[in-house]
Chains A and B, each alone.
Chain A
Amino acid sequence: MAILELDRLTVAGDRGDIITGLTFSIDEGETAVMIGGSGSGKSMTARAVLGILPDGLRASGDVRFHGESVFHMPTERRRTYLGRGTGIVFQDSFGTFDPIRTIRQHFTELFSVHLGLKGKDADRRALYWIGRAGILDPVRVAAAYPHELSGGMRQRIQIALAASLEPELLIADEPTTALDLNIQDAILELLKEWKKETGGTLLLITHDLGVAREMADRMLVMDNGRLVEDGPARQLFTAPRSRAAMQLTDDWRTVGGAPPADKAASPSHLLDVSGLSMSYRTGGLFKKREVRALDEVSLSIGSGEIVGLIGESGGGKSTLARLLAGIEPARAGAISWHGTRNWPDAVQWVHQDPAASFNPGWTAGRLVAEGLEYRGTRRTERERTARHLLSEVGLPSETAQQYPGELSGGMNQRLALARTLAVSAELVVLDEPFASLDMSTQAKMIRLIRSLRDREGTAFLFITHDIRAAFALCSRIYVIRQGQIEDHGSPAELAASENPYTKSLLEHVPGRGVDLCNNGGGVL
């Protein structure tokens, strides 16, 4: 029995169609995963199904829930459909909460609107559902405000909010993106649990084939606003038919594969860090507390080497990046530099969200050559360099006239890399460069970083919580935890490591069971 049917659903804006002629249906009790790159129309499909399209977009065709047209429901019926028929979990867990309401109030509002439940009954029910989401102290969390909870906690609460009205269909739109891997894992477990207990239907939207593989009964592949492949999950891996699906599995191999062996096996030392420590003071009027961010960290990076630094949020990764880039002085320890130019001039730092680190009023061309302006290079010279560097990182030459706001996340990452080339950096520190990129863009970035290393001999320190990408890109990886280096070695060595923390990190990689060190071929 189909619970949700889409019949030639088209969403049109002023600049043309965003979704074109989407037709598929989802059966009761099924887990369908909709996969595709950013801008392929996945999230817009979810919004169209719920009838909450942004202003200025029009939907045509039809969406039917249990055979009833969603677009023609009267207001009261629609409200029931939204609350009790379907539930939604969004990606951005912070922005979807009202900042001045407690978690409890988020629940009781829904209970009062949809179930007519008020007072103590509603409170009890809220506590019950917060507990169901795997939260150990529901009473404290119920009284908390959204900003007092971690991203993973908020995502659990979002799922509990959606589940608390006992919907038949749960739509989860990128529910795990930008979360640490172990938290991603816990969120996926929670969704599985929900399904097992209620027998409900799940529509999961993701760009990550690992997540898809772990959850899906059925895969819907989106490309450029169209459904290009619809079939059982296994088929996508064994016999993809569409070009987009083949591209996805190909990118997955790049992201999930292992790096080709380094040509220079023992590169000369570029940077040695020994006994680096850093602490911050926090606290209020009466007591000051010292938080140790880094504790006696030692590591080395060779010239032309790609080194990874992995670990969970709050482990000290970003602090180390700031110290290496010379943004802050360390409390103790030494950084010794053997490169041809002075430290930290030759070290460049690429911000996690590069667009946020650019002057939005400058064109891409000027941004790329910004470093040369400070060196007093002439303007015509700078423009020539900018054009050359944009092509080096695979951006079309007309990008030079565009502004950062007009470029996609992947293009801005490329722009940031081009900036480091302009000042011929010897070491580039990449701070979570893939956090907001979809899988295909990640695969392209991995190829670009490798080719830059080969051509320019630039060394990279790749800081990430995404273990899969680190394994794919780096020749050596450091594991950091609570400010201390916990483990260290080549990807193959780490995969076989006995260190309990490394082991637990690797366990949470989505789509695990995939051989991380298998070079390219056998994803399955």
Chain B
Amino acid sequence: MALFLLKRVAESAFVLVLGSLLCFAFIQLIPGDPAAAMYGDQLQKLTEADRLRISENLGLDEPVPVQYIHWASQVLQGNWGASYLTGEPADEVIVRTLLPTAVLLMASQVLMIGLALFFGLTSALRRDGLYDRIVLAASVLLMAIPPFWLGLMMMLFFSIRLGVLPSSGMGAGPFSISHLILPALVIALSHAGYYIRLFRNHFAASSMGGHLLALRARGVPHRRIVIAHILPNAAAPLIVYTGASLAVSLAGSVVVETIFSWPGLGRLALKSALAHDYPVLLGIILLSMAFVILVNLLASLLAAWMDPRLRGSGAEGRNGQ
């Protein structure tokens, strides 16, 4: 288990470094000029020499690898650079958006996993029946609907037609339920279809094992078989998928936060990308990446803790005779 842990942590660190390198390289490919972000309309008044001077001040005249090393060493010292847009430290700009996004993500995850658990388990226990088929049809429909369209339709219906929920903003703060419901629901629903199918298939597979027959033959009650054997056997892969789903939801938050004007990380990411605000954009990407890697690491450790076969190092995991 110790070796497994060490391997996993080393892998994660490697992925983080590689990912930051790639992002840094790709950001250079975005067409446009950071000076535009800093000076806006006054850009027209700048001479060619001014622009070069700005570039030099920002360190953008250096070769990209040098820029990367410079940036990475600053980040490691806790200096994330200043926003080209506002001049504030990038980390302060980012930190302001973390709480709203965290609240939104948690709410949408709870909704989504709740839906997937409930409909997945109930339809797996009624395999191939009418109920199972209706759930299948509904989840395929959910998978097919793009989140921005779903967001606009829900806004149209709940905010404009019925007028029961606000259409944008955060109201008094991130915990204002009435403002939270719509964006959280849109993120949850746009991924729920896929996860309902996934959970259903895992529950179905784990409720067909020969050991369940053996348990019945030894007089173990049905309720106990479901709770102590079917659920735990399906849990390990589901935890891994749940970890992965956080990454998907985080990516989805860019669109949804923009539609609902939710002042979170996703909206900030879009804004800084459009404005070539490199320090902020890189900070967001690095942070999101670290977050996703950390969540996946925790999920796979938790799964290995639950399922001994996943801890395998070499000879284990085989059906040896």
- A residues lining the B interface (CB < 8 Å): 50, 52, 78-84, 87-88, 90, 92, 94-101, 109-110, 113-114, 145, 147-152, 161-162, 165, 178-180, 282-285, 313
Contacts and interface: CB of A to CB of B under 8 A. Distances in A.
B232 interface: yes
B290 interface: no
A520 B320 CA distance: 36
A179 B321 CA distance: 8
Contacts of A284: 3, 313-314
Top 10 closest pairs, chain A to chain B, by CB: A95-B210, A82-B219, A83-B219, A151-B321, A96-B214, A79-B219, A145-B308, A98-B211, A88-B217, A313-B321
A99 B309 contact: yes
Nearest to B214: A96
Nearest to B213: A52
A285 B7 contact: yes
Contacts of B233: 98-100
Contacts of A113: 219-221, 224
Contacts of B232: 100
B321 A80 contact: no
Given A90-B214, A114-B219, A151 B309 contact: no
B194 to A, nearest CB: 25
A100 B236 contact: yes
Most buried by B among A52, A98, A151: A98
B218 A98 contact: no
Interface in B199-219: 209-211, 213-219
Nearest to B315: A282
A446 B13 CA distance: 60
A84 B210 CA distance: 21
A242 B319 CA distance: 40
A218 B178 CA distance: 76
Contacts, number: 95
A148 B308 CA distance: 10
Contacts of B162: none
B173 interface: no
Given A50-B217, A88-B218, A145-B309, A94 B319 contact: yes
19 contacts: A50-B217, A81-B219, A82-B218, A87-B218, A88-B218, A94-B319, A96-B210, A98-B229, A99-B211, A99-B307, A100-B232, A109-B224, A147-B319, A147-B320, A148-B316, A165-B218, A283-B314, A284-B313, A313-B321
Contacts of A95: 209-211
Contacts of B211: 95-99
Nearest to A90: B214
Contacts of A161: 218
Most buried by A among B214, B317, B318, B319: B214
B221 A79 contact: yes
B164 interface: no
A147 B318 contact: yes
Interface string B218-238: 111100100011001100100
Given A147-B309, A313-B321, A285 B3 contact: yes
A88 B308 CA distance: 26
Give the interface size bracket for B toward A. 20 to 34
A82 B216 CA distance: 8
Contacts of A149: 320
Contacts of A83: 218-220
Nearest to A162: B218
B32 to A, nearest CB: 47
A165 B211 CA distance: 18
A78 B218 CA distance: 10
A283 B214 CA distance: 35
Contacts of B217: 50, 52, 82, 88
A313 B7 CA distance: 33
A81 B211 CA distance: 19
B125 interface: no
B274 to A, nearest CB: 46
Contacts of B236: 100
Given A92-B210, A95-B209, A179-B321, 5 more contacts: A83-B219, A99-B309, A100-B236, A149-B320, A151-B320
B306 interface: yes
A285 to B, nearest CB: 6
Contacts of B7: 285
Contacts of A80: 219
A415 to B, nearest CB: 25
Given A50-B217, A99-B233, A285-B7, A109 B228 contact: yes
A50 B213 CA distance: 11
A26 B224 CA distance: 32
A94 B211 CA distance: 9
Most buried by A among B215, B217, B218, B319: B218
Nearest to A78: B219
A178 B321 CA distance: 9
Contacts of B220: 83, 109-110, 113
Nearest to B321: A151
A79 B218 CA distance: 8
Interface string B58-69: 000000000000
A110 B218 contact: yes
Most buried by A among B233, B308, B317: B308
Contacts of A151: 319-321
Contacts of A180: 321
A94 to B, nearest CB: 5
A203 to B, nearest CB: 13
Interface string B293-321: 00000000000001111000111111111
A92 B217 CA distance: 14
Nearest to A145: B308
A125 to B, nearest CB: 15
